Amino acid sequence: MERGQTLVLLGRSGSGKTTALRLINRLLEPTDGAIHLSGEDIRGVDAIALRRHIGYVIQDFGLLPHWTVEQNVSLVPRLLGWPREKQRARARELLEQVGLSPEIFGQRRPHQLSGGQRQRVAVARALAANPGLLLFDEPFGALDPLTRHEMQGQFCELRSRYDLASVFVTHDLLEALALGTRIAVLHSGKLEAMLSPDEFFDATTPVARAFLETLPVEFSSGRRR
Amino acid sequence: MDPTVIKTLLGDVAELTGEHIVLVGVSCGLAILIGVGLGIAGTRHTAVRRISVTLANVLQTVPSLALFGFLLPIPLIGGIGRHTAILSLVLYSLLPILRNTIVGIVGVDPPVREAAVAMGMTDRQLLRLVELPLAAPAILAGIRIALVTNIGTAVIAAVIGGGGLGELIFRGVASVNTLEILAGAIPAAVLALVADAGMSALERAIARR
């Protein structure tokens, strides 16, 4: 994987998408095989230090309910021991980036925000310490379709602005096609296919075909022409 | 009534109230240290949780008077006196504090814990920045129950020479002196009410944070 690229892990529930993601930041340890990050085997890196350099966004936000929005965004810089002023400035910059005014939202608590706003905060938090890699676990799955669409647009913007490398778990084919530079189709814990979004329409493997059948007929045939 | 009798009685009330507060304060303080400590350990190691909760449960089912009695013949830790009273009050206060600490920490929303760990918190940071602040209301509620119950139970400590307001009550019962009974019972009730109100204010202050 390179900077600016997004690897989408696509598969049905229980196919091992989330497991694969959690192996990357060592929330789980592999029984076999190895993962390399910037040329280094992650098993040789301290798990805590590793996680502080990998952004992580999950569907249920996972914001700390007793902290303000600004404190939540400053979490990793705080763990890394940045000076307070630098933490604040970074948090405000990122809130601005994800479309939340720091003046209006900075001092609010997560429960005072809508789902879309919370997910923006979670994305800002993941970006706070300039991570080399971002992990997204169905981040927009709980949002309404319009908010989800906005967030996907914002994801692409942030990706090109910060030249981010990311791994993105989803079971939504449209999302995979819209965001992925590569799409890995997972099935029963195994990699079934690795395709670019354009190649996906000509996929021959069973799960990829099954996903294509979820699209409206005109849409898929329209793309194939 | 003879004013000197009243004067002596008031002097006794003041002194014994002081003793009562020391009994309750020391035993509750120790119970908080042990209960919260064991509770935290219990959320890290299932074996610690199982053993400590079972033990605290069993202790709680022993009638308080009997618990004092059991400790009397035990050498070193038992016998007549204040330390035996404090020990049994500690044992008696453990369960609500221990259980609420565990329930409070285990009750932290799973995604919150997962995100905190995934962001690179160490176990200590997770405990200090996330789990304890979020469990604080539950832990305080446990301490409140322990404290208020303890003020009542400490009355019985007089039986094994622990001192406190129970002395007045038992003396009054023995000599069929209603005034003495009330002189012990009313301050004990007031102490319990004050403690309850204080804890309630503390809980509200924490919740507003």
DSSP assignment of A1-39 = --TT-EEEEE--TTSSHHHHHHHHTTSS--SS---EETT
Q: How many domains does chain A have?
A: 2
C-alpha dihedral over A161, A168, A131, A155, to 10 degrees?
Answer: 30
Each residue's pLDDT tens digit, B3-14: 888 888 888 889
Are the beta carbons of B121 and A79 separated by less than 8 Å?
yes
Closest listed residue to residue B153, CA positions, set B201, B99, B85:
B85
Using CA atoms, how far residue B67 sits from A126, B60, B122, B150, in Å, is 54, 9, 41, 14
- What's the sign of the alpha-carbon dihedral A85, A91, A95, A96? positive
Each residue's pLDDT tens digit, B87-114: 889 988 999 999 999 999 999 999 999 9
Are the beta carbons of A61 and B125 separated by less than 8 Å?
no
Q: Rounded mean pLDDT of B73-84? A: 79
Q: How far apart are CA A70 and CA A121, in angstroms?
A: 9
Q: How far apart are CA A51 and CA A27, in angstroms?
A: 9
Q: What are phi and psi of B122, to 5 degrees?
A: -80, 170
- Using an 8 Å Cβ cutoff, are B167 and B158 in contact? yes
* A156 and A198 co-located in one domain: yes
Residue range(s) defining the domain that contains residue A9 = 1-53+133-225
ipTM: 0.84
Are the beta carbons of B111 and A79 separated by less than 8 Å?
no
Restricting to A residues 97-136, those with a Cβ less than 8 Å away from any Cβ of B are 122, 125, 135
Q: Best mutation site among A64, A67, A138 for testing chain B: the one with the most B CBs within 10 Å?
A: A64
Domains of chain B: 3-208 (1.10.3720.10)
* A83 and A187 co-located in one domain: no
Q: How confident is the model at residue B202 (pLDDT cuts 50, 70, 90)?
A: very high
* A25 and A88 co-located in one domain: no
Q: How confident is the model at residue B28 (pLDDT cuts 50, 70, 90)?
A: very high
- Using an 8 Å Cβ cutoff, are B181 and B125 in contact? no
* A141 and A218 co-located in one domain: yes
**In chain B, which residues have their Cβ closer than 8 Å to the Cβ of A62?**
111-112, 114-116, 118
User: What's the confidence (pLDDT) of residue A70?
Assistant: 94
Each residue's pLDDT tens digit, B174-196: 999 999 999 999 999 999 999 99
Give how far B135 is from chain A: nearest CA, Å: 11
* A125 and A182 co-located in one domain: no
- Using an 8 Å Cβ cutoff, are A58 and A137 in contact? yes
Are the beta carbons of B112 and A63 separated by less than 8 Å?
yes
Q: How confident is the model at residue A225 (pLDDT cuts 50, 70, 90)?
A: very low
Model-level pTM? Answer: 0.85
- Residue of chain A whose Cα is closest to the Cα of B111: A62
Closest listed residue to residue A124, CA positions, set A106, A111, A103, A150:
A106
- Find residue B14's DSSP bridge partners: none
Give how far B44 is from chain A: nearest CA, Å: 17
